[in-house]
Amino acid sequence: MKSHQIIFLGLLCLTFTACALSGESNSTPQMSLYSSPVANGKDTLKISYAGKDDYDYLMDTISVGDTVQFKFVLNAVSNNLVGFALTRPNDTISTKIILPTESSLNGVFVKASSNYSAGKFMFIAKQSYAYFPFSYVAKAASTNSILKFYLQSDANFGTSSTGVNYVSFKLKTPIKAKK
């Protein structure tokens, strides 16, 4: 029995000495969909990788009048979230973004340093994970509607590392006229 305890204590010591206890662990933040986007509460939309110069992903075509619900998970992995942006860089006329209530946003973001209507959000300190739902309304036909997403964490990779403390992508959302 004593030999089992000695072996266990030896393995425990080995485990703790193998860990980097200096305290820093850096990872690139992650942004993902909790579930596929849904149009008008019933139709699941597909998103495919496009890898184009002006956009990274392409969503199924929607129609004027459609409302698409997105549910994003924002994850700093082993760090803290700093900022999030959701913008429409080239088309604010044919689309509209509907955010959660201001009281819900204030529970996750610092209102004084955020600009909700412009799509700029600064996180409350020590937050490593957030759920961000929003709705996207198609108001007019467009072939160039794009949503741009940006997430930043407090990861510090230094100058010699290949890691980054942000992730971003652009999602093209073609909108056709209602039949």
Residue found under tokens 């467009």: 142
Q: What is the pTM of this model?
A: 0.82
What is the reported pLDDT for 34? Answer: 94
SS3 3: helix
- Contact (Cβ atoms closer than 8 angstroms) between residue 155 and residue 29: yes
**Residue 146: C-alpha distances to residues 19, 39, 90, 171, 174 (Å):** 44, 17, 7, 5, 8
Instruction: Kindly list the structural domains of the chain, giving each domain's residue range(s) and its CATH number in brackets, ordered by start.
Output: 26-176 (2.60.40.10)
Residue 19 has pLDDT above 90, yes or no: no
Burial 161-175 (b: 16+ CB within 10 A, else e): eeeebebeebbbbbb
What is the reported pLDDT for 159? Answer: 76
Q: What is the mean pLDDT of the chain?
A: 87
Q: Give residue-wise pLDDT tens across range 47-70.
A: 999 999 889 999 999 999 999 999
